[in-house]
Amino acid sequence: MALYMFFYVAPENHLEFLSENPTLFDSYLVGDPPNLKQGLFSRLLGKQPPELPDDWPTHELESYCPEISHRQVNAYHYILNGSSDPVETAGSLFQTWFKPRHKHPALVIDGENFALSTSDVKQLLKQIKGLDPETMHDRFHGCADASEIHGLDSVKFAFDEIEKACNQAIAKGQGLLWSNR
């Protein structure tokens, strides 16, 4: 079964909250208030349950699905960055899936889910806009893993979807979250 990348726009304070409380991630995506009831052990240790942000979503978040599966992230990383080597820029979004512990600016939610701050989303958008058709074509055909992708039209569609998500995040002054769910 292939795992696909989904992108979501979310306020930066929510991204930080999810990083500190990763067990609430699924509730966040579907817009359900989570059960914050403490277990016996937590009560005995005097731990307080986390306080949800006031603007916790009340409905399922809109997702952007560029139809990129886990088998394709190496190829998309190469197409975006022009190299298979890990990067330490916002272009690291695909490498978080194949090399999650490498240095990158993404906020780690739980090792499978990641986010970028607004300023990093702006850098990512600039990098995506730099993928003109000729560069995209050359990198696609120069990529050793291109056979995992179903043609150049799929690449264009994927980056168009990510660009939409980035534009939405920037317009709202928010960050970008990506997940396999």
Tell me the DSSP string of 86-122. Answer: --SSGGGGTHHHH-TTS--SPEESSSS-EEE-HHHHH
Give tens-digit pLDDT for 22-64.
Answer: 999 999 999 998 877 766 665 566 677 788 999 999 999 999 9
Predicted confidence at residue 1, as pLDDT, reads: 58
Place of tokens 């168009």: 160
Determine the pLDDT at residue 111: 85
pLDDT at 99: 84
CA pair distance 119, 175, nearest whole angstrom: 8
pLDDT digits (tens, 9 = 90+) for 93-139: 999 988 878 889 999 999 889 999 999 999 999 999 999 999 999 99
Per-residue pLDDT band at 172 (split at 50, 70, 90): very high
For residues 146 and 138, the answer to whether their CB atoms sit within 8 Å is no
Q: What is the pTM of this model?
A: 0.91
**Superfamily of chain region 6-24+57-179:** YfbM-like super family (3.40.1760.10)
Domain boundaries, the chain: 6-24+57-179
| Residue-wise DSSP of 156-176 | HHHHHHHHHHHHHHHHHT-EE
Window from 44-53, 75-84, 156-165, 170-179 with minimum mean pLDDT? 44-53
